[in-house]
Structure 1
Amino acid sequence: MTPQIRPLSANLQRIAIEELNEVPERLDADIETLRTWLKQQPHLRARIDDQFLVAFLRGCKFSLEKAKSKLDKFYTLRTRYPDFYTIRDVDSQRLHELLRLGVGLRLPRPLHDDGPRIIYVRPGSYAADKYTFEEIMGVSHALSALSLQHDDYAVIYGCLLILDFSGYTAAHLLQFTPSIVKKMSVFAEEAMPIRDKGRHMINTNAVFERGFNLMHSLLPAKEQSRISVHGSNLESLYKHIPQKYLPTHLGGEQGTIEELKQQTWDIFTEQREYLRAEANYGVDETLRPAGQSCDYESIFGVDGSFRKLDFD
């Protein structure tokens, strides 16, 4: 039986086989094995369509046990902390305001036209006295989850982040607590089957530097090694990401901020019903088999903020 998934380009299929251990002749059986396991989990209400499940298999290099673990944590974290990992109300006017801010923007062309998806993030682009970082992350995580269903470049090659700290202030940093750093890190490493292909920080300032020095130490060594700080030196960035793959205002050919914002809004509009249906999925901890729970409260903690930093 042929899996109900998008056909890949010849190069994407080659990468899936060579780097992700995909065996096309076995794909339907692998998906069915994972689906059968999900149906046997009393506490899990998960999507079980072929396209969704193959994203987890590919992102876990076809390790069934790793895919099971990520699926469980994906839904556990989204259920336990819905405001941080999901969109609760797709019709909310406040949500629409957040989307139109364009804090995180997916660039239309992947790196080298056939590589990792590039995400351009602007952490200083929202009013910190009007919106919380948790709200920003809720939108970000929900849009990222769409990649599992709709973006083969992200699933097979991973995502490359450019974080532009223009306009970043002490007020933004004070929202970025150590607990939030852990929530972002744990979800990225343990729940999302999309590989982190690097994070490039540009237009950094003194506020960023002070927060980064503390935040960096909270990250696992693997994540630390993926971060590059370029300051305002775009020539340094171009060595990693050729100029034409950047947004227009950074000298590239990937569109203006307004054009990218509109593309994000269009994606949301097209996928509104998909996002609305996400409320149907999650975990019921009262039905979880004994001995399988994880104490995320102790992992994330309630451990203060960066308020003690001197921003003068």
Structure 2
Amino acid sequence: MVILRPLPDDLAKTAIEELNEKPDDNDYFVNTLREWAEKQPHLRARTDDQFLMAFLRGSKFSLEKAKQKLENFYILRAAMPEIFRNRNLSEPKFEAIAKAGAVSFLPEPVCEGGPLVVLMRPSEFNMEQHSINDVLKVGSMIIDILMQENDRVFIAGYTFIIDLGNISKAVLMNFEPEFVRKLTILVNKAAPTRMKGFHFINVLPIFEKLFGMVKSVISAKLKDRFYVHGTNFEDLYKHVPKHVLPKEYGGDCDLKSLADEWWQKLNDYKKFFEDEEQYGVTEGYEKLKQVKQLIEDTSVLQGTEGSFRQLEFD
């Protein structure tokens, strides 16, 4: 018998109405997906009930899509070892990144049955000391923890608020098209979580050129989920209630306390991240080769000239 966390009422309603979940059929779907995964000679996947259910919900209970997404999840991780391998926290840089408050999952959803909010403040990244891969590595660990603990990211999803105020040239130069492409592939092809929107605030004049580059590597579906609010927080509040936000944006959340809590949680998961090293796909698997070629293919970035370093800064 499949054992799952009970869902709060608002998420249970969303799962049934939007994801086609039928609780009486959960045993069949989870067991069928597990049997398939265990029979794949190239695939070494986690097969616990809750983990597999994440991919079913992320695929709206299409078994074929869930199989594809589960396989993609591990193929992408094998293709990006700089982000998903050797994720230990012993190096001081990881504590600095986690405690900088540059990326925060806010504790409250936007509404009952609504998505979580991820606040990104790139100006808080110290790119003179950390690489973008270091930042993504910490982000990948936080996402893995959410996948283990929080059903909301699969059912209601999450939405980004990206504060571009006070962003430095050094930070922008690290967010090259290569980074955008990797992140887009992960969001579109592998993650079982639901992406609901991107809200940009405190936008700089350079953003128009930057957004042109981003649009060249994202799907039409994602383009429709981009919102630019400038410095008008009242417009942002129409999408994300003020009280959900940190104090710096008129809300109630304390970013420093939140960052400290996440650093502690990351350390609590040390054994989990060690165990993650055993999962993946075999190196000779043909689809892994194809994905590596996709990641290395710069042709999808026509017109971007390969780097944000070509941009002129005011």
TM-score range, shorter chain: over 0.9
- Could you tell me whether the CA contact under 8 Å between 1:106 and 1:264 is conserved in 2? no
User: Cα 1:193–1:29, aligned 2, differ >3 Å: closer, same or farther?
Assistant: same
Question: Structure 2 counterpart of 1:279, which letter?
Answer: E
- Could you tell me whether the CA contact under 8 Å between 1:147 and 1:154 is conserved in 2? yes
CA distance in 2, matches of 1:57, 1:244: 32
1:221 is displaced (CA, Å) by 1.1
The correspondence of residues 231-250 of structure 1 with structure 2, limited to 5 A, is: 231-250=230-249
Q: Which of 271, 274, 278 is matched with 1:273 structurally? A: 271
- Could you tell me whether the CA contact under 8 Å between 1:86 and 1:139 is conserved in 2? no
Q: Percent identity?
A: 37
Q: Which of 299, 302, 311 is matched with 2:294 structurally? A: 299
List per-residue Cα deviations over 1:96-135 (Å, max 9, x = no partner).
2221222211111111144211111112211121111121
Q: Which moved further from structure 2: 266-275 or 6-15?
A: 266-275
List per-residue Cα deviations over 1:127-182 (Å, max 9, x = no partner).
12111112111211221122222111111100111111222122111111212111
For residue 112 of structure 1, give the secondary structure of its aligned residue in structure 2.
coil
CA distance in 2, matches of 1:173, 1:34: 41
Q: Which moved further from structure 2: 154-163 or 95-104?
A: 95-104
CA distance in 1, matches of 2:91, 2:45: 24
Q: Which moved further from structure 2: 241-250 or 301-310?
A: 301-310
1:302 is displaced (CA, Å) by 6.0
TM-score, normalising length from structure 2? Answer: 0.92
Which residue of the partner structure matches residue 224 of structure 1? Answer: 223
Which residue of the partner structure matches residue 187 of structure 2? Answer: 188
For residue 307 of structure 1, give the secondary structure of its aligned residue in structure 2.
helix
Unaligned runs of 5+ in 1: none
- Could you tell me whether the CA contact under 8 Å between 1:175 and 1:305 is conserved in 2? no
Q: How many residues align?
A: 307
- Could you tell me whether the CA contact under 8 Å between 1:169 and 1:207 is conserved in 2? no
Question: Structure 2 counterpart of 1:229, which letter?
Answer: V
User: Cα 1:133–1:198, aligned 2, differ >3 Å: closer, same or farther?
Assistant: same
CA distance in 2, matches of 1:21, 1:59: 11
Question: Structure 1 counterpart of 2:295, which letter?
Answer: F
For residue 111 of structure 2, give the secondary structure of its aligned residue in structure 1.
helix
Question: Structure 2 counterpart of 1:232, which letter?
Answer: T
- Could you tell me whether the CA contact under 8 Å between 1:121 and 1:162 is conserved in 2? yes
Q: Which of 281, 285, 288 is matched with 1:283 structurally? A: 281
CA distance in 1, matches of 2:313, 2:115: 36
Which residue of the partner structure matches residue 117 of structure 1? Answer: 116
- Could you tell me whether the CA contact under 8 Å between 1:168 and 1:207 is conserved in 2? no
1:87 is displaced (CA, Å) by 5.6
For residue 264 of structure 1, give the secondary structure of its aligned residue in structure 2.
helix
Question: Structure 1 counterpart of 2:312, which letter?
Answer: D
User: Cα 1:273–1:191, aligned 2, differ >3 Å: closer, same or farther?
Assistant: same
List per-residue Cα deviations over 1:65-96 (Å, max 9, x = no partner).
11111111111111121223456223332222
CA distance in 2, matches of 1:297, 1:206: 34
- Could you tell me whether the CA contact under 8 Å between 1:52 and 1:148 is conserved in 2? yes
1:236 is displaced (CA, Å) by 1.0
